């Protein structure tokens, strides 16, 4: 099922952890609506980054999957408001984050996590930009 012209529901719900542990990772209708908003935000990111090459590593996570990964129950992933991705054809996660930060794209959190980018469109829309290293967050992007 396509959420948008370039992103499918399957891309946002695939989970190796769920498959390994036999956990369901199927979103309900409300969360699918949230995923549609997230996919639309990712369409804007896709356009910004040159129109191709985005690989989503984590989108929606059921509470069971999220807990299995050791993430907090308050994660935007649990509500379908976040995705982790890379776009090697554009550049490094840091370069991607810098482009998104400068673009005017609305988001709640943009986190450069070393080997991937986390983008959340949680309705708070705080425009919070962070870097995560060794399990710790710092404000702004690393240099």
Structural domain spans, the chain: 9-139
Q: Is the pLDDT of residue 142 over 90?
A: no
Q: Which of 35, 111, 123 is nearest to 80 (CA)?
A: 35
pLDDT of the residue at 51: 87
Find out if CATH 3.30.70.100 is the number for domain 9-139: no
The whole-number average pLDDT for the span 45-56 is 95
- The Cα 79–Cα 136 span in angstroms is 23
Confidence check: pLDDT of 78 > 90: yes
- Could you say which DSSP state residue 2 is in? B
pLDDT for 59 beyond 80: yes
Q: How confident is the model at residue 125 (pLDDT cuts 50, 70, 90)?
A: very high
pLDDT in tens, 16-28: 999 999 999 999 9
Which among 79, 66, 75 is positioned nearest to 35, based on CA atoms? 79
pLDDT at residue 127, rounded to an integer: 97
CA dihedral 123, 80, 55, 93 (to 10 degrees): 40
- Decide: 67 and 39 in contact? Cβ < 8 Å: no
Q: Please state, in angstroms and rounded to a whole number, the distance separating the CA atoms of residues 19 and 112.
A: 27
Work out the percent of the chain whose per-residue pLDDT is above 70.
99
pTM, entire model: 0.94
What is the pLDDT at residue 47?
97
What share of the chain has pLDDT > 90, as a percent? Answer: 96
In this model, does residue 102 exceed pLDDT 90?
A: yes
pLDDT class for 143, splitting at 50, 70, 90? Answer: low
Q: Are 109 and 116 in contact (CB under 8 A)?
A: no
């Amino acid at each position: 099922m396509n959420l948008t012209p370039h992103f499918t529901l399957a891309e946002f719900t695939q989970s190796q952890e769920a498959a390994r542990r036999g956990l369901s990772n199927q979103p309900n209708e409300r969360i699918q609506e949230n995923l549609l908003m997230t996919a639309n935000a990712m369409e804007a990111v896709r356009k910004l980054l040159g129109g191709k090459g985005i690989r989503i590593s984590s989108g929606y996570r059921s509470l069971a999957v999220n807990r299995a990964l050791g993430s907090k129950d308050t994660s935007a992933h649990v509500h379908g408001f976040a995705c982790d991705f890379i776009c090697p054809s554009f550049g490094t996660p840091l370069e991607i984050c810098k482009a998104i930060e400068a673009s005017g794209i609305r988001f709640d959190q943009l986190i450069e996590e070393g080997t991937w980018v986390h983008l959340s469109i949680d309705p708070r829309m705080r425009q919070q930009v962070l870097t995560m290293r060794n399990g710790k967050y710092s404000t702004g992007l690393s240099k």
